[in-house]
Structure 1
Amino acid sequence: MKYQSKIQSEDHGTVIEQLNSTKINTKKATDETCDVTVMEQLRICLRYFNPSTRELVERIFCLCEIHSQTGETIFDVINQFLFDLERELDKKCILVGQCFDSASSVRCQAQGHIRSRINAFAFYVHCRSHLINLSVKDTLTNEFNKSYDLIHRTLVFFQESPQRHDTLKRSQIFHETSKEGSKVPSASDTRWVYHYQLADFVWTHMVSIVSALIQIHANNKDGLETANGFAIRFVNEKFIYEVGIMKIILGHAKLFLKQTESRSMTFDKFSTYLDSTTIRIENTLNEFDYEIYKQKVKECRVLLPMTHRTAHSTRSSNPINNNSNDIHIDMAIGLNDYSKKFINSTLNSINERFGQDSRIIMDNISMFTKLNDYSNEEVLKNPLLNLYFNEMYYKHKTVNHKIYERTDEPLLCFAKLEKELPQIRVLLKSANNEVKRRQEKKTINDEVCLLDILKFLSVNGNYLVPEWLKLYQILTTLPIGSNECERSFSALKRIKTKLRNNLSSTALETAAKVSVLKSNVTDDDLDDIVQHFYMYPGRAKARNIKIYKHENNGDNSTDDE
């Protein structure tokens, strides 16, 4: 349609103009999903620095249907996309990074094809958000397995019945954990980090949940046996304690994920956030409020006598003793020792997930934000820097046992970097001072990051330190995750299923972009849309849209459909 074409052309033209102004192109994030029309959709996202606006840009550039998920097929689509882009830009694009999740077709095959057939410097980065998600999954399915399973099944039990859900809402109001009754959250099958919402809900409404379960059992409502079993297990002190620890750990993981999802996230900031998240999880016990814990245990135990196990119950027959501690441990010492296995399990998972991937980047990138703290020799021997002023060779073996090999010339010149080193040190001092001046009015000052330095150099270092400017542009735009692709998945879900089969691939791509970028639609734009549908009523009908035209005939006016 006309308006869709207008949006598509304006958005495409803007991106092409920005890419033409960049000196180092480009970093790519790719992901795929099966949408509601049962089509496999591949998203290609570009990440680059726009010197005219001094912004780090990350946006969807292509959404296309694929008929196979093999690495070869994905490579062919990406290769054709880059070929068309270079022809339109009339210049060579330098691909210096690629980001996928851990699917073998992309992690092993597609990225191998790209490095061995397009650019050997296109280092593969495992999506950081995906790694965080996997770390949380490890923790929930290992150490927290039993308590998490109980949380999940209990909340599903309430969701399955409007009557049970209503009982829970009334219990929340009665126990004053919610004014109107909070909605029961749902678990995501893939986004394990967001299971924090389940732990937070249960911790907040613990007493209300137990009370609601007891009411369901006492009133002989549907599911009374299940409610009775859940209630008995909910008042166990170990379970209550685990929920509190789980809530804190998952809360830090969720905050970490939110930080990494920012479009302006860079590897140096990510490393800082990873370290701080690890420290916060290590200090989980300092955050745990034992007084609130004891109060919840006490209130649940007051409700416990109302619960009686039936004679033919097939559930666990472990006795519940109201006058003694079930787990027979000292509150101050025993619970702390008991909780360490959960904390250590989470930390071990984080270390394992992030311990191998992209280590040469993670371990060496922070030097370039504090270059003046190091000697010339230390700077020039940085392993990450050495990658770019040496030839890069890459060899890839396909599933069909074909061999692809490629050697690319260095992206940077060592002699120029060495010559410009004194100037870059002076400029970095000025960049630090400028950032500090901007942060004088802030209550919390952020450390100078790669993006701050790149913004400064893009204005002041074009002619003084062009080789270092290239390096900072490469380092700043290294891909962190495929979050922009994930945003497009969410956007597609918001497009009505009924309309999806009537949308062309271009229209679908435009709709996803508009949803993600949140473009402003003016009154003139709306007039264009209405006029177009009025001229082509068949298109309006296909989209279930009715157009009403207001006609003025002298003093009389009628509304015609």
Structure 2
Amino acid sequence: MDETRDITANEMLCLCLRYVEEDSGNIRDEVFMFKPIMDGSGEGVFNIAREFIECLQQETNKELIITAQTYDGASSMRYQAQGHVRSRLSAWAIYIYCRSHLLNLSVQDAIEIYIYDIYDTVHSTLVFLRDSSVRLQVLYESQKLINSVVIALSTISQQKTSGSSDARRLAFELMKPEVVFQIHLMHDVLRPSLQFLRQIEKRGSCLDEFVTHVDAACNTMKQSIEIFDFNQVRKILNDVQKYLPTVEPTFRSTRSQIQTIATDFDEEQFRDTGKTFINHFLQSLDDRFNTEAQELIKNIAVLSSPFKFSAEELLQNSLIIQTDPPLLNYQQLKNDVFAFLTIVGNITSITSITQRLAQHGSEQCPEWYKLFQILATFGIGLNEAERTFSTLKRIKSWLRNGLSNSTLEILIKVSSLKVNLTDDAIKFIIDDFISNPQRAKRRNISVFTEYNNEMEFDEETV
């Protein structure tokens, strides 16, 4: 679950379910509910989830068991997980940060402690440039030159208008050697973070793959300072000299002077600063996984490569031992473990094992198939919810005001699907509009019909 505010300032809640198709073993993430909410507190969101689950149980005539939940770090939601919801959760229902908030919070920790000054300078510069359309135009025209932001600030500082002194100050702040270094270091560190987020946004990703991608991103970040190009910093500092603001002459002088900046710096000192920043970032990332979450991921890693372990070692996995009886039958797992190991062979991912069991293990080791269905439904983020929010933000205000909440929910759900219409479905839609020309007109749709082997335009259906 996640929530956002749409263009009409309404709080919208999106509830997604992750499930496994029983026949194919394919993992699906789908939006099941998208509606406005009045109470965005932990208790309010919990009540909506409870009502949804109770309604789903009535429709399916089944008792649903929550196996695991992820939250974004909100303290109110954590309270609900330990209070109201906890009583009906299985032993696997752990509290773990979703992947995007995990990175966001770690970046915030590292920046606030070690390089907040440069972050504040960059932020202040962006606010200053966006505050005026004239300043933005200056920035736009300077894009063809190097160091466009400094060039824009220097140009603004010479215009003798409101903000010229601020522009001069920001230009010199941005061209300090330590600021140039830290800006480029942040770019090098955050680039693999962005690539990591894009990698795991793919539908059907599981926690075992998540761990692999986290390790890959962390190892890339660790090397950022070792391969950092300090010559690039020196080149920028030298190239930008001619674009710096001029200093106004005093009453004793008639010549303006270009103020120079220092281009020398202690490379080893910068390297130590970079290592400290990266280490704190990685430590903050690691701290976001509490002991319970780390143990869960460790056990999942074992189950994602079952051929590396004996039958006894698999059965001693704490994920299996601590499970509640309604969720899994331990004795049946024990009886079918050899059939399970034979069927999955040397397959090494939860996704692939689940698909294999769907095809060949649903009868010979059904309890193991149930186990991997559960593992496959462990979410690592709110990808589907964020996709719906992206769609919501692209809806123009005039159009949003004309949509009812139920219509909006349908549109959002459809937008998250890969719809492949058959020829018969397309023909039905066209025939429906031809039979109801006013319906097409209301939707601003032009319908072309074939008549005597020629395409003619029916004005009545415009």
Provide the TM-score with structure 2 as the length reference.
0.86
- Give the counterpart letter for 1:423 in structure 2: A
- Give the counterpart letter for 1:491 in structure 2: T
Aligned to 1:270: 210
Aligned to 1:236: 176
C-alpha spacing 1:496/1:520, structure 2 compared with 1 (3 Å): farther
Contact between 1:97 and 1:478, CA under 8 Å: does it hold in 2? yes
Gaps of 5+ in 2: 251-258, 451-455
Aligned to 2:343: 427
Partners in 1 of 2:308 and 2:431 — Cα distance? 58
Residue 238 of structure 1 aligns to a residue in which SS?
helix
Match of 2:404 among 504, 509, 522: 504
Q: Does 1:130 align with 2:46?
A: no
Gaps of 5+ in 1: 1-29, 176-206, 312-319, 392-408, 433-447
Partners in 1 of 2:236 and 2:27 — Cα distance? 47
Partners in 1 of 2:428 and 2:101 — Cα distance? 38
Aligned to 2:154: 214
Identity of aligned residues (%): 32
Aligned to 1:280: 220
- Deviates further, 160-169 or 48-57: 160-169
Q: Deviations over 1:346-368 (max 9, x none)?
A: 11211111244622312221011
What's the CA shift for 1:108?
Answer: 1.6
- Deviates further, 455-464 or 80-89: 80-89
What's the CA shift for 1:233?
Answer: 0.9
For the aligned residue pairs, the C-alpha RMSD in angstroms reads: 3.2
C-alpha spacing 1:529/1:173, structure 2 compared with 1 (3 Å): farther
Contact between 2:65 and 2:327, CA under 8 Å: does it hold in 1? no
Aligned to 2:142: 171
1:83-482 counterparts in 2 under 5 A?
Answer: 83-109=54-80, 112-117=83-88, 122-175=93-146, 207-304=147-244, 306-308=245-247, 322=261, 325=264, 327=265, 329=266, 331=267, 333-356=268-291, 358-388=293-323, 391=324, 409-429=325-345, 432=347, 448-482=348-382
- Deviates further, 502-511 or 522-531: 522-531
Q: Deviations over 1:380-414 (max 9, x none)?
A: 222222222xx4xxxxxxxxxxxxxxxxx342222
C-alpha spacing 1:173/1:52, structure 2 compared with 1 (3 Å): same
C-alpha spacing 1:517/1:140, structure 2 compared with 1 (3 Å): farther
Q: Deviations over 1:468-502 (max 9, x none)?
A: 11111111211211221122122212222223333
C-alpha spacing 1:49/1:558, structure 2 compared with 1 (3 Å): closer
What's the CA shift for 1:536?
Answer: 6.1
- Give the counterpart letter for 1:345 in structure 2: H
What's the CA shift for 1:268?
Answer: 0.8
What's the CA shift for 1:237?
Answer: 0.5
Contact between 2:154 and 2:167, CA under 8 Å: does it hold in 1? yes
Contact between 1:115 and 1:123, CA under 8 Å: does it hold in 2? no
Residue 36 of structure 2 aligns to a residue in which SS?
strand
Q: Deviations over 1:241-282 (max 9, x none)?
A: 001110011112111222232221111111111222222111
- Give the counterpart letter for 1:224 in structure 2: S
- Deviates further, 208-217 or 472-481: 208-217
Provide the TM-score with structure 1 as the length reference.
0.72
What's the CA shift for 1:77?
Answer: 2.3
C-alpha spacing 1:512/1:303, structure 2 compared with 1 (3 Å): same
What's the CA shift for 1:172?
Answer: 2.2
C-alpha spacing 1:462/1:547, structure 2 compared with 1 (3 Å): closer
Match of 1:490 among 365, 390, 395: 390
C-alpha spacing 1:492/1:322, structure 2 compared with 1 (3 Å): closer
C-alpha spacing 1:381/1:527, structure 2 compared with 1 (3 Å): same
- Give the counterpart letter for 1:214 in structure 2: S
